[in-house]
Structure 1
């Protein structure tokens, strides 16, 4: 196990300036939450070709993260197909947004929005009647 030495904060708690002064190449992820430095080990990379599709179900409490942060992480991991399931929309009440990784930009491009049925050939053939899924 490797040890990690971080500088001490300037006072009793960490400030934004203390946080921003940390080196950018830390072997761990760090977050500043209410004056506390939270250290999270970086996950080991998964060969992106092992994951063909990620489906993210948007939660009301994490909407922003699910819509903005997670897709970036999946694209960085080179996961070719990403679907976002929205369940709390008013009209329609259920939708799947499908995306595919664009090799030129490294980001996702939209390939469709599905409300009643999703038929796809990639990343594998499937045909799902979404009404049946919603009723479960």
Structure 2
């Protein structure tokens, strides 16, 4: 197995330019959180399958004003010393954004979803939702698989303007139906199936 070798940042923390200069074909997922480089293992096939299937169903119902992608960089905080750039499992963002450009600015994102894996439980349940809320992304979905919870479920949240935190809008086992950010009705049997 080949060792992962990354360049060192020019200062105490990583800049956005240094982060974005990293090769796209790294053998691990890499995020930038408050100027710190965070390296995670690549997800298991079942994780990717669930994310892909859910993204496809969201995309099938999304109006033309929105586009849906998986594992793409979202710029949550452009702070010069402590930038935050993460690639959620699913991103629903404005069709005004050029899909050839990265990262996607948070203000163009309406929904992010994370599929929880054994190695990402803490990030997907605590750290990332706080960062998404701080960036004022309106909707957050957390997909709990049978690897990480007693049963497959999608936990949905919406940003509360008064507190700046997410509030629960439901737990979905068989079907997910919403009118915001747009009308969607997705049976979950085909998303979670092997």
Give TM-score, length-normalised by structure 1: 0.66
Q: How many residues align?
A: 105
Please tell me whether Structure 1 or Structure 2 has the larger radius of gyration of its CA atoms: 1
| Aligned twin of 1:84 | 142
| Aligned twin of 1:70 | 128
Give TM-score, length-normalised by structure 2: 0.48
| Aligned twin of 2:154 | 96
The Cα shift of 1:4 comes to 3.1
**Displaced runs of 4+ in structure 1, greater than 6 A?**
none
| Aligned twin of 1:42 | 83
> Relative contact order, CA 8 A, sep 6+: which one is greater?
2
Question: Unmatched 5+ residue regions in structure 2?
Answer: 1-9, 14-33, 39-80, 86-102
Matched position secondary structure for 1:60: coil
Residues 78/135 of structure 1: CA separation in 2 closer, same or farther (3 Å cut): same
Q: Tell me the C-alpha RMSD between the 2 structures.
A: 2.8
Question: Unmatched 5+ residue regions in structure 1?
Answer: 7-26, 32-39
| Aligned twin of 1:28 | 35
**Is the CA contact (8 Å cut-off) linking 2:142 and 2:154 kept in structure 1?**
yes
Query: How big is each residue's C-alpha offset from its partner over 1:25-68, in whole Å with a ceiling of 9 and x where there is no partner?
Result: xx83378xxxxxxxx97246854331010011111112111100
